[in-house]
């Protein structure tokens, strides 16, 4: 006889496999953040370019799996349900975020969560890659060095109270480090400081608690080892 515990476990795994298979076979998932169904904006959970365990030891496989298959998937699903039931049409997430103050907290939180996580997955890689070229010049020009950038970024992340995100943004041609609460992002019209996101870090406890518990500082230190600088440089252009 199957125990309830086992049943839940099996169901959980089944859901994960279905979702993962869908993300592998759905060509739309290769497009960052969204696709359109007619005029109705909808979000797509991007396929990961690495496996759940590939970012270890910075981020452990179980945290990645739960974060991707449960937290992020629910944001995408809820965002699409909310956009549909509230009959909201935009051509892109950038347009939606530029008008987010006109919409419900449900839209704001879930659309933010759907988009921010795709951006976060893409901001990381298991491949060794280095800061170079125009991005390095911009970072040196603004912060002095990449070490200074990391220091300021980590300080902002450490001081951010509760759940949220830390961002490196381009604001009117200048680089800046900011944080946003909950699932807000710097593209939202209600953000204190707006700009083009170049790099984003999830500092919700669900992003690190299984491995690091309350040690957010250790999570930050290790996270820099998996930052995808090539992707950050592409975003700067
Ligand atoms: Mn998260």
- Report the separation in Å between the CA atom of 60 and the middle of ligand 1, taken as the mean of its atom positions: 14
Ion ligand 1 neighbours (CB, 5 A) are 202, 204
- Report the separation in Å between the CA atom of 163 and the middle of ligand 1, taken as the mean of its atom positions: 9
Q: What is the pTM of this model?
A: 0.83
In angstroms, the Cα distances linking 197 to 48, 56, 120, 177, 235 are 19, 25, 11, 10, 8
Evaluate whether 47 touches 22 at the Cβ level (below 8 Å).
Answer: no
- The residues, ordered by sequence, that sit 6+ positions from 60 with a Cβ below 8 Å of its Cβ are 53, 210, 211
Evaluate whether 30 touches 46 at the Cβ level (below 8 Å).
Answer: yes
- Report the separation in Å between the CA atom of 141 and the middle of ligand 1, taken as the mean of its atom positions: 31
- Report the separation in Å between the CA atom of 184 and the middle of ligand 1, taken as the mean of its atom positions: 12
Report the range of poorest mean pLDDT among 37-51, 125-139, 191-205.
Answer: 37-51
Q: Rounded to a whole number, what is the distance in angstroms from the first to the last CA of the chain?
A: 59
Measured between alpha carbons, how far is 188 from 99 in angstroms, rounded to an integer? 7
pLDDT of residue 81: 96
Residue 111: CB atoms within 10 A of its CB come to 31
pLDDT of residue 40: 76
Asked whether residue 53 carries a pLDDT value surpassing 70, the answer given is: yes
Sign of the CA dihedral with 144 first, then 146, 148, and 152 last: positive
Select from 186, 65, 218 the least CA-distant residue to 115: 186
**pLDDT digit string, tens, across residues 58-116:** 999 999 999 999 999 999 999 999 999 998 989 999 999 999 999 999 999 999 999 99
pLDDT of residue 179: 98
- Report the separation in Å between the CA atom of 162 and the middle of ligand 1, taken as the mean of its atom positions: 13
**pLDDT digit string, tens, across residues 190-232:** 999 999 999 999 999 899 998 989 898 999 999 999 999 999 9
pLDDT of residue 39: 60
**Which is more confident, 31 or 208?**
208
Percent of the chain beyond pLDDT 90? Answer: 77
Residue 35: CB atoms within 10 A of its CB come to 14
pLDDT of residue 83: 96
- Report the separation in Å between the CA atom of 144 and the middle of ligand 1, taken as the mean of its atom positions: 30
pLDDT of residue 237: 81
Token digits for 165? 């995100």
Q: Please state, rounded to an integer, the average pLDDT across all residues of the chain.
A: 86
């Amino acid at each position: 006889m199957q125990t309830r515990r086992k049943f839940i476990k099996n169901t959980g795994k089944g859901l994960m496999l279905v979702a993962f298979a869908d993300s592998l076979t759905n060509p739309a998932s290769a497009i960052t953040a969204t696709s359109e169904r007619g005029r109705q904006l909808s979000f797509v959970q991007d396929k990961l370019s690495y496996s759940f365990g590939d970012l270890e030891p910075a981020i452990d496989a179980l945290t990645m799996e739960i974060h991707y298959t449960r937290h992020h998937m629910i944001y995408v699903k809820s965002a699409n349900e909310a956009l549909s039931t509230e009959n909201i049409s935009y051509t892109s997430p950038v347009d939606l975020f530029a008008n987010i103050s006109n919409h419900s907290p449900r839209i704001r939180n879930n659309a933010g969560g759907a988009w921010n996580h795709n951006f976060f997955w893409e901001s990381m890689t298991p491949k060794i890659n280095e800061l170079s070229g125009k991005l390095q010049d911009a970072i040196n020009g603004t912060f002095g060095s990449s070490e200074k950038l990391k220091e300021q970024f980590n300080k902002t992340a450490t001081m951010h109270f509760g759940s949220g995100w830390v961002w490196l943004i381009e604001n009117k041609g200048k680089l800046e480090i900011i944080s946003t609460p909950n699932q807000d992002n710097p593209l939202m019209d209600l953000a204190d400081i707006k700009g083009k996101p170049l790099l984003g870090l999830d500092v919700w406890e669900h992003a690190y608690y299984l491995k690091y518990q309350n040690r957010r500082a250790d999570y930050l230190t290790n996270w820099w080892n998996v930052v995808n600088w090539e992707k950050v440089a592409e975003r700067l252009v």
